[in-house]
Amino acid sequence: MKPYLAIGLAIVALLSAGPIAWADAETDLKAKLPEMFAKSAAHYKALDAATTPLMKGKPVNTLENGDLYLPHGWLAWKGRAEYDMHSVYWWTAGHYPGTLWYLYEATDDAFFRERATVWTEILAPIAKVENDHDVGFMMNCSYGNARRLLKTDTYDALLLKTATSLSTRFHPRLGLIRAWGPMEDKSEFTVIPDTMMNLEILEVAAGLPGGEKRFDEIARSHADVTMKNHFRPDGGCYHVLDYDRETGHVKTIRRGQGASCETAWSRGESWGIYGYAMMYRFTKDARYLAFSRKLADFAMNHTNMPADGIPYWDYGRPGEERDSSAGAIMASGLLELSQWLGPAEGAPYRAFAVKQLLALSSPDYFSEGNEIGHFLLKHGTGFKPNKLEIDTPLNYGDYYYLEALLRFRKLAKK
């Protein structure tokens, strides 16, 4: 599909999507911001009070003083209703403190600065982790936001150490960062689109005093090879690719968290939209901007995209569960994409993000009271093929929802 045709179709779809005219949607969302930030703040004050006593879990060998846990989600099945707490070593550990930092940014309430600092600083051991590509999620969402909002260099050494640790997962011949497993394991070399999000800490670290040029080079290399192999010609994504270490060719494609190898897992698609727009921010490489746009066109114009813009958990499974986290990530990525494209070309992407944020801010997705343990967004889907985290809140959904609202607030002020 020609880019101008995709944009035209997106605009037509937005104009005919519902009773709120496209021209009025931004006004409506802007008017809702104070309410949504206030509701979110109230939810997270209650969430923090409930989960702080659960921070210290049973001792394990990974930390000398015993393991520490952060809120990841809410379990309400088989007669249970309780917090799903995960270790500081779990990939989403940075999203809860990151959400607190965003609430501090949104409200200027010192409570969130203080609580965000407490939850952030328990993640310090992650800087030395070399067996997981998700250290970028963990440390940039927490310490990265702390550095930005507090305007301090106190955390620079930890961010630089994290980038160094992540760089050990880079295979020079393949030009890729391995997702899982020890680097010396020769049986496989798995790569997933999620890693695009972890490149941000490499770019952040490259720009810090003492940062190394190789951090940027690694990030660019991974983005380039991922762009070449991880997405179909139409822009749809695969989840797990296993590479041959010697030839650099893809040996196998795996379903992973998607429905099949032939469909597109919606959160992976959102990671790509966001990740390539982010890479353009740091590099100003036009290829990344064009690729983010291609992935966005695929998602926005997909036959199975629901009218409210919140995708099904997989684009090949219409009528099944939605994934509010995929919608929140996509909205945040689309807003950054629209900013770099400029007012005219960016308009349909910004408008689609506004539609998504209005949906996520409605009672259809935004929780009331304690129905989901004071998390914000209902209807997230984490790992349906393994029957895990289906139709549930997810801490990263809340994180990217608030990030998207903050990005919209900044754009609306211009």
Catalytic, 314? Answer: no
Based on DSSP, count helices (H) and strands (E) in the chain, helices before strands. 14, 9
Burial 46-57 (b: 16+ CB within 10 A, else e): ebbeebeeebee
Positive or negative, the CA dihedral 65, 56, 140, 311 is positive
Q: Which residues, other chains included, contact 311 with Cβ-Cβ below 8 Å and sequence gap of 6+?
A: 266, 269, 270, 299, 302, 304, 305, 322, 323, 326, 327, 330
3-class secondary-structure state, position 372:
coil
Of 327, 323, 330, which Cα lies nearest the Cα of 391?
323
State the catalytic residue, choosing from 48, 132, 194, 391.
194
Q: Which residues, other chains included, contact 398 with Cβ-Cβ below 8 Å and sequence gap of 6+?
A: 40, 95, 99, 328, 375, 376, 377
Catalytic, 323? Answer: no
Can you tell me which residue has the tokens 């659960």? Answer: 54
3-class secondary-structure state, position 82:
strand
Q: What is the spatial distance between Cα 34 and Cα 37, in angstroms, rounded to a whole number?
A: 5
State the catalytic residue, choosing from 134, 297, 314, 323.
134
**Residue 93: both structure tokens together:** 């550990």
Enumerate the active-site residues: 134, 194
